[in-house]
Amino acid sequence: MSEFEDSVVDALKSTGWNAKEISLGSYIAWHLFTETPAFRFDTLVHIPQGSRRLIVLRARSSFELSFASYLLSRATEEWLNCCPNEYISISPGFDLPGRRFDGVGLAPPAVAQCFASQAQILTDHSFWVYPVMKNDFRGDEDRSAFHFRLGKGGRIAIIDWNRDGSTSVNPKAEQAPQTTRA
């Protein structure tokens, strides 16, 4: 392992969550989970070989290895390279049988803020990949607009991998702050 990977693994282990290395086909990732009286929360962190990026997946009581593998396959280096640093990106299309999603979203580190207040190395390098439905996001949300949409229950919806087509991250998405690109 590289020095970066060693630092990431140490940081993951320091989160206080149960952490173990797992294999998903051609992917090696760290699976972190914690259980509350009501729910189980799963986080998967993949370090693409030779990269200083982390691909983060999150699920609430709906984690499935095959679904996680599909999401990882969509997070290609090409997509990560072209994703703007200040805005989310949406990749349309979702061809996993039995799922009702319309695409996959990607929030870069400056927007996602994964592991904020836990480990700076994780926060600075984590790209959050998540399934989306057509009305969840416009695809140009900055950090403020992204977190606005996750407020009021939206965060729970985005990490529910079993949600049906009637559940949006934020049904009042049109009220989100408008982002202005320079």
Q: 1 falls in which pLDDT band (50, 70, 90)?
A: confident
117: left (phi over 0), alpha (psi -120 to 50) or beta: left
Q: 167 falls in which pLDDT band (50, 70, 90)?
A: low
Check residue 128 and give its pLDDT. 95
Average pLDDT over residues 117-134: 93
Place of tokens 């999401």: 71
Check residue 31 and give its pLDDT. 95
State pLDDT tens for residues 73-122.
998 877 887 777 899 999 998 988 888 899 999 999 999 999 998 999 99
> How high does pLDDT run on average in the chain?
87
State pLDDT tens for residues 37-65.
999 999 999 999 888 999 999 999 999 99
CA 155 to centroid of chain Cα atoms: 11
Average pLDDT over residues 155-166: 82
Check residue 168 and give its pLDDT. 66
Instruction: Measure the CA–CA gap between 138 and 111, rounded to whole angstroms.
Output: 15
Spans of all domains in the chain: 3-175
